[in-house]
Amino acid sequence: MDPSATITIHELMNRYAHAIDAHDLVAVEACFTNDASFAIEVADGISAGPFEGRAAILDLVRGAYESQSDRRRHVVTNIFVDPISDASAHVTSNLTLFSIANGELTALTTGVYRDRVVRTNARWQIEQRHLKVDLPY
């Protein structure tokens, strides 16, 4: 895999986090393929999804926005890319989720994203996303 592809995949992970925090649904949508899936698992065994298709993922995000009265910051770190081919890869990264409310910063949870990304129309997008969080948020 071309090193520039690895950099672009790193940027995709960060663009997603920025878009979620900015409540930018257009940018969130651009991070996923049309047929993407997203599943969430909490360490205590609760799970949600998989949410199948970009529209279902956006509905999940909209619902999250509506239920939150705080400001969220998704911090994605320790990103590493395992190429499958020149047009696909597995990506693993860590999530630290912060909440800002009433002038206070609180760490809500940590977790691990496990993604399959693909290059479509000269752009990298998430095709499959699994998030396992350590605590419910």
| Token pair in block for residue 8 | 């672009």
Q: What's the token pair of residue 65?
A: 């926005």
The amino acid present at 98, given as its one-letter code, is: F
Q: Helical H runs in the chain?
A: 3-22, 25-30, 54-67
Per-residue pLDDT of the chain (137 residues; tens, 9 = 90+): 889 999 999 999 999 999 999 999 999 999 999 999 999 999 877 788 899 999 999 999 999 999 999 999 999 999 999 999 999 999 999 999 999 999 999 999 999 999 999 999 879 999 999 999 998 87
List the domains of the chain with CATH numbers: 3-133 (3.10.450.50)
**pTM of the entire structure?**
0.93
Tokens of 111: 């977790």
Kindly list the strands in the beta sheet with 104-120, ordered across the sheet, starting from the edge strand earlier in the chain: 47-52, 32-42, 123-133, 104-120, 88-101, 71-85
